[in-house]
C-alpha cells in the first residue's frame, strides 16, 4: 500500500471534549446585541464575557477557577454607557483588558487578581476618538501598550494606552470594517470590509500595501487572519451563499493558495488560529459544531482534521492562548463556548500514551513579555514575540500596575468622574473607597 495515501501529521487525531458540567460556568446572561464578535475573551487567569445589562454596557470577569453557578449579583465591569461590542485581553499583562462599545469609546481596565467584590466602573484610561460606535479592539502582538480600535465611522485608530493618546489614524476604508488581524510581529494588519475587499495595511506608513476585491464572491461578512508564515486565512460566502474558506499569499493576490467550500449555513465563521500548531478552528455563530483544519506547505494546503459537535448552538467563543493549556494532558487548545445561559470549556487533545512532556506538540510559544516599547515600534522597529518554554507548564505572574501618563491635547480635557483614574498615576488602580472619597 502506498505511504502517500495517508497524510502524516501529529494533529490528525486531535479530538475535542466538553468538560464536566461542574467545570463550566452557569447562569451567565450572555449579551443579545446583534454584532458579529466573539463576546468572550480568555487568558490563563480570567474569563471575560459580554453580558446583558440595563442602562449601559457591561461584561463579567471571572477567575478561571470560579467554576459552577455564577451568583446573579456577581459584580460586573460597568463603565460603558452603551452596549459593549468587543473585548480583548492584553497579551503582555493578564490583568489588563480592553473593551469597546456603542458609546463611541474604548476603555482599558486593570482587573485585580482576586475576584471582584463590587462593580468596577473606573477604567485605567478612556480612549475617545471615534465618532460612531467602536466594534473592534485588538492589542499589538509584540509592542507594549499599543492598541488598535476600529469603528463604524470606518476609522482605524492605533493608541498608546500608556499615555492615552492616538498615534496613528487611518481612513482608507469606505465602509464598515468587519475584522482586523495583526501579523506575527505586528508590522502589518489585514482587514475585511463591507465593500468586499481584503486589505493589507502598513500602519506606520499609513497606507494599504495590498488589496483583493471579493476573495469570496458572496456579499455576506468575511473574516481574515494572518498565519505565522505571512499568508492570510479567510472565511466568507460564495455567490450561492455557501460558506467558504480561503488561503491567500498577500504578495500575490491573483489566485488563492487554497479555496474550499464548506456548507450552506448562514452564520459567520469566526476563525481562531494556533500559530504553534499551524491549526485553525472555525466556529460559526449559531452552529453547534467546531471544525478544525491544519495549514501545511503541501497541497491542498488546508487539511480538514475533524469536527467537534454538541447539541446546543454557540453564541460566541473564547480561545485560550497556548500558555494557558494543560501540557500534562497533551491539550493543544481550549475553547470557551458561549451558550444562552452558560459558558462551556472544550479541550482539544492529541492522544498520547506517555505522561512525559511532548516536545513536538509544544514548541516555545509567545510569552507575556513585550518585545519592544511603543516608541520603538513607532520608529519602525519590528520584533517577533519573545518565546517561553512550556516544559514546566505556565504560571501566570502577579498583577502589575499599568501606569498612564497623560500628555499633549488630552491634558486639556475637563476632569470627569469617569476619567479620574487616568489623571492620578500614583494611585493606580484606584480602590473603590478612594473613588468615593474623591
The greatest distance separating any two alpha carbons of the chain, rounded to the nearest whole angstrom, comes to 78
Question: Per mean pLDDT, which range of 55-59, 192-196, 279-283 is the poorest?
Answer: 55-59
Under the banding of pLDDT at 50, 70 and 90, the label for residue 22 is very high
Q: Coil, strand or helix: which one is 327? A: helix
How does residue 7 score in pLDDT terms, banded at 50, 70 and 90?
confident
CB atoms within 10 A of CB 4: 7
Q: Decide: 381 and 155 in contact? Cβ < 8 Å.
A: no
Q: What is the DSSP string of 196-223?
A: SEEEEEETTTTEEEEEEE-SS-SSS--E
pLDDT top residue among 44 and 5 = 44
DSSP 8-state class, residue 81: S
Region 287-302: mean pLDDT is 95
Q: Which CATH class is domain 13-381?
A: mainly beta
For residue 114, what pLDDT is reported? Answer: 85
Give the residue-averaged pLDDT of 66-93.
Answer: 95
**Mean pLDDT along residues 316-341:** 96
pLDDT level of residue 56 (50, 70, 90 thresholds):
confident
Q: Which residue has the higher pLDDT, 357 or 436?
A: 357
Q: Please give the C-alpha separations between residue 358 and each of 274, 321, 354, 367, 430, in angstroms, as whole numbers.
A: 17, 18, 8, 19, 43
Q: Is residue 268 pLDDT above 80, yes or no? A: yes
Q: Return d(Cα 229, Cα 183) in angstroms, integer.
A: 9
Q: Give yes or no for a contact between 379 and 372, defined as CB atoms under 8 angstroms apart.
A: no
Distance (Å, whole) CA 372 – CA 430 = 27
Mean pLDDT of 293-304: 95
Q: Taking residues 26-38, what's their average pLDDT?
A: 91
Percentage of the chain modeled with pLDDT above 90: 81
Q: How confident is the model at residue 410 (pLDDT cuts 50, 70, 90)?
A: very low
What pLDDT was estimated at residue 100?
A: 97
Q: What average pLDDT does the segment 401-424 reach?
A: 50
State whether residue 322 is helix, strand or coil.
helix
Model pLDDT, residue 356: 86
pLDDT, mean over the chain: 90
Q: Are 149 and 104 in contact (CB under 8 A)?
A: no
If you average pLDDT over residues 15-35, what whole number do you get? 94
Residue 400's φ and ψ, nearest 5 degrees, are -115, 140
Asked whether the predicted pLDDT for residue 259 surpasses 50, the reply is yes
Residue 89 pLDDT > 90, yes or no?
yes
Model pLDDT, residue 94 = 96
> What value does the mean pLDDT take over residues 48-74?
93
**Of the listed ranges 130-144, 346-360, 398-412, the one predicted with least confidence:** 398-412
> Does residue 276 sit in helix, strand or coil?
coil
Mean pLDDT of 259-269: 93
pLDDT for 290 equals 97
Beta strands 279-284; 125-128: pairing state:
unpaired
pLDDT digits (tens, 9 = 90+) for 151-190: 999 999 999 999 999 999 999 999 999 999 999 999 999 9
DSSP per-residue string spanning 402-436: ------GGGGGSPP-TTTHHHH-GGGPSPPHHHHH
Residues with Cβ < 8 Å from 181, sequence gap 6 or more? Answer: 138, 189, 190, 191, 224, 225, 226
Give the Cα separation of 208 and 66 in Å (integer).
44
Confidence of residue 145 (pLDDT cuts 50, 70, 90): very high
* Cell numbers given for 69: 453557578
Q: Is the pLDDT of residue 103 over 60?
A: yes
Q: pLDDT per residue over 184-243, tens digit each?
A: 999 999 999 999 999 999 999 999 999 999 999 999 999 999 999 999 999 999 999 999
Amino acid at each position: 500500500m502506498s505511504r502517500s495515501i495517508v497524510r502524516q501529521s501529529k494533529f490528525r487525531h486531535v479530538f475535542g471534549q466538553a468538560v464536566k458540567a461542574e467545570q463550566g460556568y452557569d447562569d451567565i446572561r450572555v449579551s443579545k446585541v446583534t454584532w458579529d464578535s466573539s463576546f468572550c475573551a480568555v487568558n490563563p487567569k480570567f474569563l471575560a464575557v459580554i453580558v446583558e445589562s440595563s442602562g449601559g454596557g457591561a461584561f463579567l470577569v471571572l477567575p478561571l477557577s470560579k467554576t459552577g453557578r455564577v451568583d446573579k449579583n456577581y459584580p460586573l465591569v460597568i463603565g460603558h454607557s452603551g452596549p459593549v461590542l468587543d473585548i480583548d485581553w492584553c497579551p503582555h499583562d493578564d490583568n489588563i483588558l480592553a473593551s469597546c462599545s456603542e458609546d463611541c469609546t474604548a476603555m482599558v481596565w486593570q482587573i485585580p487578581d482576586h475576584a471582584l467584590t463590587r462593580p468596577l466602573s473606573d477604567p485605567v484610561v478612556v480612549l475617545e476618538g471615534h465618532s460612531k460606535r467602536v466594534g473592534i479592539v485588538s492589542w499589538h502582538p509584540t509592542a507594549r501598550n499599543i492598541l488598535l480600535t476600529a469603528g463604524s465611522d470606518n476609522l482605524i485608530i492605533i493608541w498608546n494606552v500608556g499615555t492615552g493618546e492616538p498615534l496613528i489614524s487611518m481612513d482608507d476604508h469606505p465602509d464598515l470594517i468587519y475584522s482586523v488581524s495583526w501579523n506575527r510581529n505586528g508590522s502589518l494588519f489585514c482587514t475585511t470590509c463591507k465593500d468586499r475587499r481584503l486589505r493589507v495595511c502598513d500602519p506606520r506608513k499609513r497606507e494599504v500595501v495590498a488589496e483583493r476585491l471579493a476573495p469570496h464572491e458572496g456579499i455576506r461578512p468575511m473574516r481574515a487572519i494572518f498565519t505565522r508564515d505571512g499568508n492570510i486565512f479567510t472565511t466568507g460566502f460564495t455567490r450561492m451563499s455557501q460558506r467558504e474558506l480561503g488561503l491567500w499569499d498577500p504578495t500575490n493576490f491573483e489566485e488563492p493558495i487554497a479555496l474550499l467550500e464548506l456548507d450552506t449555513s448562514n452564520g459567520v465563521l469566526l476563525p481562531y488560529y494556533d500559530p504553534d500548531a499551524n491549526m485553525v478552528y472555525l466556529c460559526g455563530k449559531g452552529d453547534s459544531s467546531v471544525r478544525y483544519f491544519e495549514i501545511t506547505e503541501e497541497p491542498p494546503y488546508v487539511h480538514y482534521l475533524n469536527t467537534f459537535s454538541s447539541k446546543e448552538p454557540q453564541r460566541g467563543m473564547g480561545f485560550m492562548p497556548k500558555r494557558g493549556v494543560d501540557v500534562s494532558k497533551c491539550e493543544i487548545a481550549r475553547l470557551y463556548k458561549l451558550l444562552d445561559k452558560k459558558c462551556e470549556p472544550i479541550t482539544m487533545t492529541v492522544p498520547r500514551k506517555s505522561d512525559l512532556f511532548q516536545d513536538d506538540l509544544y514548541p516555545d510559544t509567545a510569552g507575556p513579555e513585550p518585545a519592544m516599547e511603543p516608541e520603538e515600534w513607532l520608529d519602525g522597529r519590528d520584533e517577533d514575540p519573545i518565546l517561553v518554554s512550556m516544559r514546566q507548564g505556565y504560571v501566570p505572574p502577579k498583577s502589575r500596575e499599568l501606569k498612564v501618563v497623560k500628555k499633549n491635547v488630552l491634558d486639556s480635557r475637563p476632569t470627569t468622574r469617569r476619567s479620574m483614574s487616568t489623571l492620578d498615576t500614583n494611585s493606580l488602580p484606584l480602590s473603590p473607597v478612594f473613588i468615593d472619597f474623591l
